[in-house]
Amino acid sequence: MNVSPVFQAIIMGLTFPLRCFGVKFSYTLNYDIYRFGKIDSTNTRALKLGDEGFPEGTVVVADEQDSGRGRFGRKWEAEPLSNLLFSILLRPGFLKRDEVFILTFAAAVAVAEALEKTAGVAAELKWPNDVLLDSKKVCGILLESSFEGNSLSHVVLGIGLNVNQTAFPEEIKERATSLALVTARKFDRDELLLMVLGNFASLYGTLMSGDLYPVMKKWRERMRMIGRKVTLTVADKTFEGVIDDVTDDGSLVLRMPSGLRKFTAGEISFSYSNIM
Ligand code: BT5
């Protein structure tokens, strides 16, 4: 694919240590960053680059998306030039198919840590793919996988982070926020991007070493919704219950009148008057 008219590539290597059989060595996740002005969707582009054999660590960043999307084909709304819209191409051959969800959790932790460090805010994580500030969504993560036959070829982690946007469309304004709205300050998007990428590289290194637990732990520490009464929407069905747990395989466990029930996908909504 010819991307040359619209990108500048910054090549950056982030090195982090891995420990194996007591020997310390370094795995380098080389990020190649392709920056676009306007694009359809950074996820669409990164998936294509993945199909074309681009290496793990390829990052597509855009100032604006025509067709930014969320899960289930939902729209991701972002004012041009104000936010972070990017996708990371990964080839996580070390993960089993049912472990790939952990990459969404790692991305959420990477974003939360960057927000906390840059702005001193307390980020909360919402199952399965959101980062919240002041109980509103500041970031959404979209993980898309590409398979060759039965085996995982590549994965794209798309991250939409509301940075400097201060007004949102009517249909999301009650639920969306940005770093600028919460702090009354503006932020350098590139600095934030590099920080999220750096944090993610280090979490990815931990996952590569075969241990998912540290990432799961960091994610859980920021998921403060255990015990909260929620409504879970799965396709066109809704379930009322209390969040009992998020298990190590990334599933949500709801305590319902009929007993405990595990869900692998869905959308949580809650009322703050219902904290139990
Ligand atoms: C997500 O989906 O939250 C994943 C969003 C991922 C967006 C990034 S941007 C870079 C990359 N390229 C893409 O094309 N996508 C990724 P989901 O959980 O389905 O949430 C989508 C819902 O969030 C929408 O239906 C709206 O209700 C709400 N929403 C849309 N734009 C928002 C925004 N800027 N801030 C907060 N909420 C938003």
Give tens-digit pLDDT for 154-195.
999 999 999 999 999 999 999 999 999 999 999 999 999 999
Percentage above 70 pLDDT, the chain: 88
Write down all domains in the chain, each with its CATH number in brackets.
Answer: 11-221 (3.30.930.10), 228-275 (2.30.30.100)
Q: Does the Cβ of 158 fall within 6 Å of ligand 1?
A: yes
Question: How far, in Å, from the CA of 53 to the mean position of ligand 1?
Answer: 27
Q: What pLDDT is stored for residue 148 in this prediction?
A: 87
Lowest mean pLDDT of 12-21, 204-213, 247-256, name the range: 12-21
Instruction: From 76, 189, 252, give the residue whose CB has the most ligand 1 atoms within 8 Å, as the site to mutate.
Output: 76
Average pLDDT score, the chain: 90
Q: Which atom of ligand 1 is nearest to the CA of 74?
A: 25
Give φ, ψ of 144 to 5 degrees. -125, 135
Question: How far, in Å, from the CA of 258 to the mean position of ligand 1?
Answer: 32
For residues 244 and 263, give the distance between their C-alpha atoms in angstroms, rounded to a whole number: 12
Sign of the C-alpha dihedral computed for residues 216, 152, 8 and 30 taken in this order: positive
Q: Does the Cβ of 87 fall within 6 Å of ligand 1?
A: yes
DSSP β-bridge partners for residue 19: 24
Nearest to 33 by CA among 16, 13, 19: 13
Q: Nearest residue CA, atom 20 of ligand 1?
A: 70
pTM summary value? 0.91
What is the pLDDT averaged over residues 6-14? Answer: 41
